Amino acid sequence: MMKQFRLHAEIEGSGPVVVMLHGYLASSRYYKKLAPRLARDHTVIRLDLLGHGRSPKPRHSDYGYADQLAAIHHTLTTLHVGRPFALVGHSMGTLLALRYAQTHPDDVSRLVLFNPPMFSSPEEAHDDIAATGRHYRAFLFSRFRRSIWRTIKLLPRSPRRVRPAVSLSDILAVPHQARDGSLRNVVMRGNVFEEVALIDKPILVTVGQRDRRIYIKNAMRHTWPAHVTLKVNEYGHNGMASHPELAEKYVRLLAD
């Protein structure tokens, strides 16, 4: 039997429930500016995904869909979260949100997907990520990557009074099993274009003009189903963290 892991959760507000899933090498802090805006009239639940933030980091997990979804479902069940709820994801969190809506369709009322990885295949994902720059290849694909990460952890860092939404501290908190497993078993295996068609819930998808070029290219040439709304903005991959007013607008576009 698969071990059940309870994820760290941040909960605020009252009203209809919104569950938020962050992206790769991030944490629930990604939504720290958006959550209070929605919490005025919603119960907002921000989760640290398995292997990330303050959640458990099991050494023997492959950090694929099965383990991540089991942890999400166990946590929400333990918290006695009312169903159905709105499910919001960013980047890798969008892939988990889509798969969760497929495996637990009665739990989810709608989905808001911020900047999902819009690759058409695992091969395209690998090639595009690896081509981002030498640092990406070194950090994520080099056979020396574990030594590189260990060295980075030893470098001195200036303390910051307020941790940003996307922080080096969160990145370094992810162990190599979660870092490698999440990338290979979720990020490079998901297919947003195929999976939105398998869900009959209202879905809003955002893409930034300054995100990866392949994302906007694939998004604009794809024929989206009628229940999917595509929104294009001028920002990059983390635009929703730095522009919470727009992120709030997107979430509220779909009726509670």
| Domain contains 232 | yes
Burial tier of 92 (Cβ tally within 10 Å: 0-12, 13-18, 19+): buried
| Domain contains 2 | no
- Per-residue pLDDT of 100-148, as tens digits, reads 999 999 999 999 999 999 999 999 988 888 887 666 666 666 676 777 6
Contact 134, 123 (CB under 8 A): no
| Domain contains 243 | yes
Q: What is the pLDDT of residue 254?
A: 78
| Domain contains 3 | no
Instruction: Tell me the average pLDDT of the chain.
Output: 91
| Domain contains 141 | yes
pLDDT of 89 above 90:
yes
| Domain contains 1 | no
| Domain contains 94 | yes
Q: How far are the Cα atoms of 137, 173, 234 from residue 134, in angstroms, in the given order?
A: 5, 22, 26
Q: What is the CATH number of the domain that holds 78?
A: 3.40.50.1820
Confidence of residue 79 (pLDDT cuts 50, 70, 90): very high
Query: What is the sign, positive or negative, of the torsion defined by CA atoms of 219, 224, 227, 230?
Result: positive
Contact 244, 34 (CB under 8 A): yes
| Domain contains 4 | no
Radius of gyration, alpha carbons of the chain: 17
User: What one-letter code names the amino acid at 190?
Assistant: G
pTM, two decimal places: 0.93
- Per-residue pLDDT of 154-180, as tens digits, reads 666 656 666 778 888 898 889 999 999
How many domains, the chain?
Answer: 1
Q: What is the pLDDT of residue 147?
A: 75
By residue range, what is the domain housing residue 141?
9-253
